[in-house]
Amino acid sequence: MTLADHRALRAQALRLCRRADEADDLVQETLLAGVLAGRHDMPWLSGVLRRQAAMAARAGVRRRRREALAGMQADDAIEPFACLAPEHAPPPPAWLATLPPSARRLAVLALHGLSADEIRWILRIPATAFRQRLTCIRKALAAQSPSVRAEGIALAQLRDPSRSADIPFGLARRALKAAMQAGEGLGTHDPDGHLILIDADAHTSPSRGNPQTGITQEDIPCSRTAR
């Protein structure tokens, strides 16, 4: 890596962080990821840096929520990471806007670190539909410039460390299996290992209308007005 490349990375980090020391930390984490992956090309490193900034922002949000739940006083609260500022949040990759809505939803979930099984469950799609949308994403990415492709690959490969928390997964698995006896759902955990369960019907609304006649509000055209 040349000195000009290092300066370019630091300039990018300064656009994502308001403090110089945090920008320097971001650059060091990016360079370390490059050494571990055997990559030194700037587009890839730029994508890793953006990903690291986004992960730091999410970690800061989680930390502030835990502090608020613990009842910490404002004077004792830890100063939040400067990358949390909305104006410094890294924008989503521009090429995502070229995707069809169905493929875009899959790409966003993948960039947030979800596995294929998790994505299929959330989107309620079979493996064949998942592969079709993945093929669409790959074709769209292949049509981009080499720098955009390298950045997209970097964003997809770098994982949030919080999703690899050091917790007793044997106990967590048994607790999940016991909790999901009632039916289908999605189980995960927060960075501290606390169990989070999402029931399959948790995001649906009950039918409205007269169940005795079999007519619900969903069956009534939106253009009809009440008399």
CA atoms of 57 and 84, how far apart (whole Å): 5
Residue entry with tokens 């509000």:
217
Residue 221's pLDDT is what?
A: 40
Q: Domain locations in the chain? A: 1-91, 94-146, 169-199
Residue 126: what pLDDT? 92
Angle at 189 between CA 188 and CA 192, to 5 degrees: 170
Show the 3-state SS of the chain: CCHHHHHHHHHHHHHHCCCHHHHHHHHHHHHHHHHHHCCCCHHHHHHHHHHHHHHHHHHHHHHHHHHHHCCCCCCCCCCCCHHHCHHHCCCCCHHHHHCCHHHHHHHHHHHCCCCHHHHHHHHCCCHHHHHHHHHHHHHHHHCCCHHHHHHHHHHHHCCCHHHHCCCCHHHHHHHHHHHHHHCCEEEEECCCCCEEEEECCCCCCCCCEECCCCEEHHHCCCCCCCC
Nearest residue to 29 via CA among 16, 98, 91, 133: 16
Residue 123 amino acid letter: L
State the residue for tokens 């959330």.
Answer: 122
Note the pLDDT tens digit of each residue in 201-226: 655 555 555 444 444 434 434 333 33
Query: Angle CA(25)–CA(13)–CA(62) in degrees, nearest 5?
Result: 65
From the centroid of its chain, how far is CA 169? 22
Q: What is the pLDDT along the chain (227 residues), one digit of tens a residue?
A: 788 888 888 888 888 887 888 888 888 888 888 888 888 888 888 888 887 787 777 666 666 666 666 664 444 444 444 444 444 445 677 788 889 999 998 988 887 777 788 888 888 899 999 999 999 988 888 888 887 777 777 666 655 555 554 555 566 666 666 766 666 667 666 666 666 777 666 555 555 554 444 444 344 343 333 33
pLDDT at res. 64: 64
What is the rounded CA–CA span in Å between residue 72 and residue 66? Answer: 9
* Cα within 13 Å of Cα(40), Cβ side: 7
pTM of the model: 0.43
Question: What is the DSSP pairing of strand 215-216 with strand 195-199?
Answer: unpaired
Q: Is 191:162 a contact under the CB 8 Å cutoff?
A: yes
Name all contacts of 29-37 with Cβ < 8 Å and 24+ positions apart.
Answer: 31/1, 33/158, 37/157
CATH fold for domain 94-146: Arc Repressor Mutant, subunit A (1.10.10)
Give the model's pLDDT for residue 149.
76
Whether the CB-CB separation of 155 and 94 falls below 8 Å is answered with no
